[in-house]
Amino acid sequence: MSIEVKVPQLPESVADATLVNWHKSPGDSVARDENLVDLETDKVVLEVPAPAAGVLTEIKIESGATVTSGELLATLEPGEAAAAVAAPAASVKPEPQAAPEAAPAAAAPPATAASTENAGKLSPAVRRLLEEHDLDEAQIQGSGRGGRILKSDVVAFVDQRVQPAGDTEDLPVETVPAVGGARRDHRVPMNRLRARIAERMVEAQQTAAMLTTFNEVDLTEVIALRSRYKERFEKEHGVKLGFMSFFVRASLEALRRFPVVNASIEGSDIVYHEYYDIGIAVSSDRGLLVPVIRDVDAMGFAAIEKAIGTYGKKAREGAISMDELTGGTFTITNGGVFGSMLSTPILNPPQSAILGMHKIQERPMIVGGEVRARPIMYLALSYDHRIIDGREAVQFLVAIKDALEDPGRLLLQI
């Protein structure tokens, strides 16, 4: 009896999903729990596993279609996969002419096996790049966990195929850029995550009275403290001591002092959240994701660093869940890792504020009447002026500055 493969129950806030890619074709054998197809929602990519071992008999919905919860995707004939495919294989008579080609064909299986192994591990961004450049994943050596192919692996492979401009003697004719040739545009549809990001950014600017205030922070003491204890910290807790945990803890202390920054608007009400769920913006191949670290007030530096590391890894691998992206009362984004010196971050609705970090740069500062080089970072706080006044926003940012310039306050909570 055939088994129906259906769209799993989508999260409550998600109405539908896009069928991104089938990893199997009709007639292919599948193992139980093997990923059959990827469904892309506004925030995450969901994998649909095979409910039983057997053979995929029919695909009902093709790639690119929009699907909803419970919709029929395919049918599966249960049973041992090897036995199911044995009969069709035995009924095919080999052509006499094919015999001479048997020896060279023996080299093909390893590449095919690698392709099959990686097929279920490719992110949508990697698949798009492979399709755009007409590449087979078996050609590319993956640098990710378990040999997973990353976007950077594909980009590096493509770059290696391009020779220097002056060395075109042995370059195939079709790849030599023609002087004065036709100019081209390459049009691709937005993926669901990018479209959702665009929608939320416009929503934030249209619905909130958004304003940004700036300050600068001297990170001399944080850098000294981190340098003094980072080796012992890593040995004790099994995780590196980064800068983000200092900013999370400093934000926590400032949120406690100014609860309106941790609040949100619902209709004509202001909702004051008596818990602290801080979102950390993470860049991924698919776009910007904001996983939420919940109950930060109950966490120490090590727990915060471990949570940030785990979410960052999940985001890059496309393994982050919807629950890990929902909620949040305040957000921190770090453009400094990309070299940004100053920016005005956009609110993450329905939150009322977001903190922007930037690049640490040595600048001349007056210290004790003398000019000294100090590691300075510009901070930006974008906030909803409908419920947060300028006085509260400025004092909130100053509270973060004071905590970071004297990090002993974070331990004493003063």
Residue positions annotated with a catalytic role: 385, 389
pTM summary value:
0.64
> At 169, is the pLDDT very low, low, confident or very high (cuts 50, 70, 90)?
very low
Query: Who has greater pLDDT, 367 or 414?
Result: 367
Query: Who has greater pLDDT, 3 or 211?
Result: 211
pLDDT above 90 covers a percentage of the chain that reads 41
Q: Is 308 exposed, middle or buried (0-12, 13-18, 19+ CB in 10 A)?
A: buried
Which among 354, 355, 371, 373 has a CA at the least distance from the CA of 363? Answer: 373
Stretch among 85-94, 178-187, 198-207 having the lowest mean pLDDT: 85-94
pLDDT in tens, 31-77: 888 888 888 877 677 888 888 888 888 888 888 788 888 888 888 88
Residue 414's pLDDT is 64
**Is residue 105 scored above 60 in pLDDT?**
no
3-state SS, the chain, equals CCEEEECCCCCCCCCCEEEEEECCCCCCEECCCCEEEEEECCCCEEEEECCCCEEEEEECCCCCCEECCCCEEEEEEECCHHHHHHHHHHCCCCCHHHHHHHHHHCCHHHHHHHHHHHHCCCCHHHHHHHHHCCCCHHHCCCCCHHHCCCHHHHHHHHHHHCCCCCCCCCCCHHHCCCCCCCCCCCCCCCCHHHHHHHHHHHHHHHHCCEEEEEEEEECHHHHHHHHHHHHHHHHHHCCCCCCHHHHHHHHHHHHHHCHHHHEEEECCEEEECCCCCEEECEEECCEEECCEECCHHHCCHHHHHHHHHHHHHHHHHCCCCCHHHCCCCEEEEEHHHHCCCCCCCCCCCCECEEEEECCCEEEEEEECCEEEEEEEEEEEEEEECCCCCHHHHHHHHHHHHHHHHCCHHHHHCC
Residue 85's pLDDT is 43
Residue 413's pLDDT is 67
Residue 152 sits at φ, ψ, to 5 deg, of -65, -30
Residue 121's pLDDT is 60
Residue 150's pLDDT is 75
3-18 average pLDDT score: 80
> At 245, is the pLDDT very low, low, confident or very high (cuts 50, 70, 90)?
very high
**Is residue 174 scored above 50 in pLDDT?**
no
pLDDT in tens, 266-306: 999 999 999 999 999 988 777 788 999 999 999 999 999 99
Residue 374 sits at φ, ψ, to 5 deg, of -130, 145
351-370 average pLDDT score: 94
Quote the CA–CA distance of 223 and 7 in Å, as a whole number: 50
pLDDT in tens, 116-136: 455 456 766 677 777 777 788
Query: Who has greater pLDDT, 184 or 306?
Result: 306
Stretch among 122-131, 253-262, 311-320 having the lowest mean pLDDT: 122-131
- How big is the CA angle at 296 (ends 290 and 302), to the nearest 5 degrees? 95
pLDDT in tens, 144-157: 766 778 777 777 78
- Residue reference for tokens 């769920």: 277
Query: Who has greater pLDDT, 159 or 227?
Result: 227
Q: What is the mean pLDDT of the chain?
A: 81
Residue 83's pLDDT is 43
Q: Which tokens sit at 379? A: 């901070």
Stretch among 28-37, 298-307, 328-337, 342-351 having the lowest mean pLDDT: 28-37
Residue 387's pLDDT is 96
Quote the CA–CA distance of 78 and 29 in Å, as a whole number: 10
Domains and CATH numbers, the chain: 1-105 (2.40.50.100), 122-167 (4.10.320.10), 192-412 (3.30.559.10)
Residue 80's pLDDT is 60
**Is residue 315 scored above 60 in pLDDT?**
yes
